[in-house]
Amino acid sequence: MTPPAYTLDRQVLIHDLDEAPDRYPQARRMDVKGKAFATTWSIALYADTVPEGLDVRCQAVLNRIDKEMSPYRIDSDLTRFNLAPAGGFVSLPDSLRTAVGHAVEIAALSAGAFDPALLSAVELWGFGARVVAEGLPEASDVSALRGQKHGWRDLVVQDGGMVKPAEVRLDLCAIAKGFAVDELMRLLQAEPGVRAALVEIGGELKGWGVQPDGLPWWVEIEAPDTAKEPRTVAALCGWAVATSGERVRSFMHEGQVHSHTIDSVTQSPTRSDIVSATVFDPQCWRADALATALMVMGEERAIEFARQHEIPSLLWVRAETLHNGLRAVRSPRLEGWL
């Protein structure tokens, strides 16, 4: 008798745990949501009692981060830094300085594949707040950006603020959402009676604790629209996940996709063979920034980087020989989660 044919409809990723999290079967579920950073946010949590005014407190945290870190707001602290004269000291809020410090850390780790000082290039290619003409920017303008002498290496976070390097203009969009996820989770973990939570902002997620039945928070991992492999679901318990990809923001010109992810070497949209990069990390800000770095690196360098630093990551790579033009590549650390 021939066994019936079946198709695997999903792959399951489960990370290692040092010990089983505590269970709170009496906890009640609560869901809150809102809008921030031109996207949506949501929280699912379990608590002994429903916290009063939690939605208001969460929204206040996100509004503060937006006021500090948005490159689209003329009144943000980040814009105030970007407009400051070269060589001047700019006072900055603690959380903004912390985010810049994180950004410089990943820039150094990735040898500039992640670069927080690319606002001028982001705007030149039409992905910023400034309105630009249709088509591609002038080659001379791109070349001028490549010739700049100063960049993220000149950023020094000091007590109370930073000195503004010449030519440097910061864009923290590739780390701010992840940073905000961590901030919301920190608020929830300090809330009396809250036992477990799942935080999501624009597709970046972080899970803490387990549900009353002992199951982790299950989330589906983003994949390109043309991906044909089984969908991937992952358990989040003390981990975060972030994805960077072409489909988020890009434009087409003469048959070529131009991604919002900028390569600091060329000061132009990345031409790597990676269409989408997903990274898992206990800190969402780190997963957010590393996903961008892997996008810029390209498959060969990205997989070696992920192996060297034990980064669980999933890449979708262009493969013209396959019918859908894509193939999934998992880092060695992520392979161990299957």
Instruction: Mark the binding-site residues, compressed into ranges.
Output: 174, 288, 292
Closest by CA position to 307, among listed 327, 333, 329:
333
User: Residues annotated in the binding site for Mg(2+), as ranges?
Assistant: 174, 288, 292
CA separation for the pair 156, 101 (Å, rounded) = 8
230 CA to centre of own chain:
23
Give the CA angle between residues 184, 280, 309 to the nearest 5°.
Answer: 125
Give the CA angle between residues 281, 269, 265 to the nearest 5°.
Answer: 85
Neighbours of 247 (CB within 10 A): 15
CA separation for the pair 238, 37 (Å, rounded) = 24
Residue 51 CB-density burial (10 A; 0-12 exposed, 13-18 middle, 19+ buried)? middle
Residue carrying structure tokens 């006072």? 91
CA separation for the pair 129, 105 (Å, rounded) = 26
Closest by CA position to 188, among listed 172, 177, 199:
199
**Maximum Cα–Cα distance for the chain, whole Å?**
80
Closest by CA position to 199, among listed 58, 94, 3:
58
Backbone angles phi and psi of 21, in degrees to 5: -65, 155
* Helix segments in the chain, DSSP class H: 54-69, 77-83, 94-109, 119-124, 139-146, 173-189, 284-297, 299-308, 332-335
